[in-house]
Amino acid sequence: MTTIIENVQILQNLTSYTNDVTSVDFAGDCVLVTGSGDKRVRVWQWRSGTGYIEAYFSPLQGHKYGVTSVKVSPRSTMLASASIDGTTLLWNLRTGSKIHTMVQVGGEAVRVCRFSPDSTLLATAGDNGQVCLWDLVRRNLVRCFQKHDGAVQSVCFSPDSAWLITTCTFGVLKLFSTADIIDSCLSDNQTITALAWVDDAHDLGVVSCDFSTSQKIISNDPLTKLYQLVTCGNDHCVKLWEITIIQSKCETQPSSVNINLCRIMEKHSSALTCVCFNVNGLFIASSSLDKTAVIWETNSGKVMTIVSGHNRYVACCAFSRDGNLLATGSNDKSVIVWDLKGNLSVDSELVRRFTPALFLDNHEQSTEYEQTVMKNVESINDVRLIQRLEEHNGVVNSVAFYGNHLIASGSGDKLIRIWTIESEEETEDSEITMKFQEKSYSPLDGHKYSINHVEFSPCGGMLASCSLDGTVVIWNTEDGCQAKSSFVNSGSGIRVCRWSPDGTKIATAGDDERTTLWNVDNMEELCIFRGHSDAVNAIAFTPDSCYLITACNEGTWRLFDIVDNKNCAALIICGEAHDLGVQGCDFSPSSDFIYNRRININNDKQFYLLATGGNDSMVKLWQITIGKRNVTATGSIGGTGDDIQYKEKKTFTGHGGNVTCVRFSPIHSEILGSVATDRTARIWSIYSGVCLYVLEEHESLVTACAFSEDTSLFITGALDKTVLIWKIPQQLISQNILMNNLKYNRKKVIDWKIDDTLKWLDEIGLSMLIKNASAISLTGRQLFSLSENELIKKLHIEQDDETAEAFKTQLYWLKREDDNSIEISIDDTEIPHEFLCPITHEIMKEPVQCSDGFTYEKAAINEWFLCGKYTSPMTNKSLRDTSFTPNIILRNAIYTFLHGNRPQL
């Protein structure tokens, strides 16, 4: 990384353009991307002996009018280009293929696009003052908002992706919380407000802005963060700002945000066009209508150099990621690449050794690659019906899954059937075939009347079934015998039976309007919950087994505490959940809903996400918040107690009949399944509320549904006496895994919550400390504020010298990595090639091993999957499994190489 700029000279002049060059950016390996008024995006790669040459797939053509902005994703796998035509295109930087098209709301010209540093979001903005935020995982619009009166010409994210700066031609600069924007997408009524703003940042308008990668913690309590921002405008000035954000421990909103002007840098003689930091934030580059570009030293404001080589105004500038190059684009239809070290030539080696090329080398190779990718996409893009089970002689009222290998169904023919799923060897087209075999003891015959519900125990060793005959039977899934004596809830039919997630309790409910809680060990009655005035159709436990929801035909649902068996009164009564009755309900297994990134900041409250389906053809999502004190809350929707709240978050519409069952996908809970009397099943995105798939193979009313543990299979049962098994697209499964991975994208340690700390301990091979760390609620702040000895004592490892020493070393490395001010200067020739990520060609900091056997930087492989590429970056072959595991041995070797061993005090 260049820390000194001297003897700046022209390295190469690129003149392939037929119009002005409007935007430039660098990817890894000094790959250069340019956008022009000629509607084209050009991609240049460095070849020693020749200099920059266009990639074989360049130029990229897809815009109808001039390109205004080009940006490379943080890990160099994607490219975004914006245009006057109102669109922003997302490209695969490896092959030049178009991934997705994003159309600005209203179709107005787009002037700027920027990736968030965590690769999950893309911000676009333009002439009408609107800012659009796009979700790159789901490829949809998160939010569009208009908070500027003038055209927005620049936006940028803070290095931790937590804050978004927007500026306009009226000279106004505003700062927003990214989490606020994401959260507000759940409610159209929730307005987005700027946390801070400057009305006169630049006279005549702000043209460009950029955050430094430097982020400092200047106080731990209250937590105070300091960011650096640079802006330029039509007033000929470059301005350096400091943004201070103060946030106390338990607050979701900052208690104070200040934007202070630190320095005004004046050298240009005309309006500016672009400004940017270099990678380590030590230098700033600016370009101007005065035909020059200036490089400034950040800390002093000193002019390091003025470069002038263009015949007309300079429209844009960008530093290479290694800091050795500067590119400037001009109205003279050229791009000049400047050598900032003063010792480079076209014969220099700018690309890291021992790593595969960022691009495929030729058209034939790329075509083969794209065909492989497209074949993969085509084969996984639709839900496919893979099996019909037609053994029942009566209507199928209930279906259940255990893990990925056991299916159960209950029918009006009084029988329960259980199947096993066996995966057979891959066929020539890489498809795994599945064999569905009914258990030898199936069917189970123990009820006198129709089976209403079946459900596997959490351990899979037992199956509960309930019937119209008023009994519940517990079956052993190994031999088909009754594991427990059957018990009678009442003389009325039992409609539903559910296991608590911890496996210690069973709840039953039915026509007698009551719900009974049973102890599984001795089958003794623990409590009876009353209050409904109609049959109870559906019940569900919270994932922590603390609470129970009951729902009935009158359209209400009630929440009960099952830990305190002495209090059988409802904690919450939602009186108007669904008109005409509630038919199904289910809790999300995860309380960390992806759309609310701040949800676990307050440890005094627990959050649950509930789905309900009703006779009004709707599926609804409810957020339930429970504090440490339980206070009864009654009334209509929105009724709350002091520490218990519930709120309707979303309504899914699309079914044309009564919704009979709803189920979350296990583990990740990103999707929801529902079935209805309209003979269809639907799969929904929890995040966006969009119906992803409609399944229409049943010939009669659909009654029940369930997901396999890995979400790869979805089963439905119906009045047509069949159980249908559907194959879920690999893309949807991979998206779930990706979302889960991106929740833990690398952020400043000071921002770590307890879950982040526990995940870090697991990833560095110290999982034995997780229990103790969880018990003391160890956060990132404590890791940095407490001394080593205090931490060792709190974790109770004073007597375990080996573990204590390993923890101290890992903590030393963590602090070194988290400190932006520490500059590590290593010659490329000294770096072992196995330390370099095959995707970014940079030293890995979080190496993870994928199912292809190769190791990549965690953030890089996540971004690779964001492109929709579920293939190996090394072999181009399809990856069936997109999960990965930390490569702890390699990580320790890299950190030893970079930081050495911990100094002995």
Give 465's strand partners: 454, 473
Domain count, the chain: 3
pLDDT at residue 814, rounded to an integer: 86
Same domain for 870 and 770: no
Residue 501 covered by a domain: no
At residue 189, the pLDDT reads 41
699: exposed, middle or buried (Cβ count in 10 Å: 0-12, 13-18, 19+): exposed
- Residues 800 and 837 grouped into a single domain: no
Q: Kindly state whether residues 867 and 784 are assigned to the same domain.
A: no
Q: Which of 291, 313, 339 is the last residue of a domain?
A: 339
Q: For residue 2, give the H/E element and its range.
A: none
If asked whether residues 180 and 321 sit together in one domain, one would say yes
Taking only the tens place, the pLDDT of each residue in 354-363 is 444 445 455 5
Query: Are 30 and 75 contained in the same domain?
Result: yes
| DSSP per-residue codes, 725-782 | EEEPPHHHHHHHHHHHHHTT----GGG--HHHHHHHHHHTT-GGGHHHHHHTT--HHH
CA distance 378 to 218: 51
> Are both 788 and 893 inside the same structural domain?
no
- Predicted TM-score of the model (pTM): 0.71
Question: In sequence order, which residues have a C-beta less than 8 Å from that of residue 389 and are 6 or more positions away?
Answer: 407, 409, 417, 419, 436, 722, 723, 724, 725
Based on the fold, state whether residues 201 and 307 are members of the same structural domain: yes
The CATH code of the domain that includes 878 is 3.30.40.10
Are residues 802 and 853 located together in one domain of the fold?
no
pLDDT at position 606: 81
Does residue 293 lie within any of the structural domains?
yes
Look at residue 8 and give its three-state secondary structure.
coil
Residue 222, preceding peptide bond in cis (omega within 30° of 0): yes
- CA 693 to CA 845: how far, in whole Å? 39
Query: pLDDT value at position 215?
Result: 78
Q: What are residue 45's DSSP bridge partners?
A: 53
Q: Would you say residue 672 lies in a domain?
A: no
Please indicate, yes or no, if residue 740 is contained in any of the structural domains. no
In this structure, the number of other CB atoms found within 10 A of the CB of residue 156 comes to 24
Co-location of 794 and 886 in the same domain: no
Q: What is the pLDDT of residue 779?
A: 87
Structural domain harbouring 153? 9-185+193-210+265-339
pLDDT 10s digits, 792-844: 999 999 888 899 999 999 998 888 877 654 555 666 667 888 898 888 888 88
Token digits for 538?
């559906």
Report the pLDDT value the prediction gives residue 188, as an integer from 0 to 100. 46
What the block records as the tokens of 214 is 């430097």
On whether residue 39 sits in a domain, the answer given is: yes
3-state SS class at 575: coil
Decide if 92 is inside a domain.
yes
Residue 526 has which token pair? 């623990």
φ/ψ of 322, rounded to 5, equals -90, 0
Which of 792, 820, 848 delimits the end of a domain? Answer: 820
Q: Do the domain assignments include residue 277?
A: yes
- Judge if 762 and 888 occupy the same domain: no
How is 627-680 classified by DSSP, letter by letter? -SS---B-SSTT---SSEEEEEEEEEE--SS-EEEEEEPTTT--EEEEEETTS-
* CATH, residue 203: 2.130.10.10
- The pLDDT assigned to 66 comes to 96
CATH number at residue 758: 1.10.150.50
Assess if residue 513 is contained within a domain.
no
Q: Are residues 812 and 839 located together in one domain of the fold? A: no
Of 307, 339, 371, the residue at which a domain comes to its end is 339
Most confident of 44-48, 753-757, 771-775, 882-886: 44-48
Contact 223, 233 (CB under 8 A): no
Q: pLDDT-derived band of residue 510, with 50, 70 and 90 as boundaries?
A: very high
**Residues 103, 174 share a domain:** yes
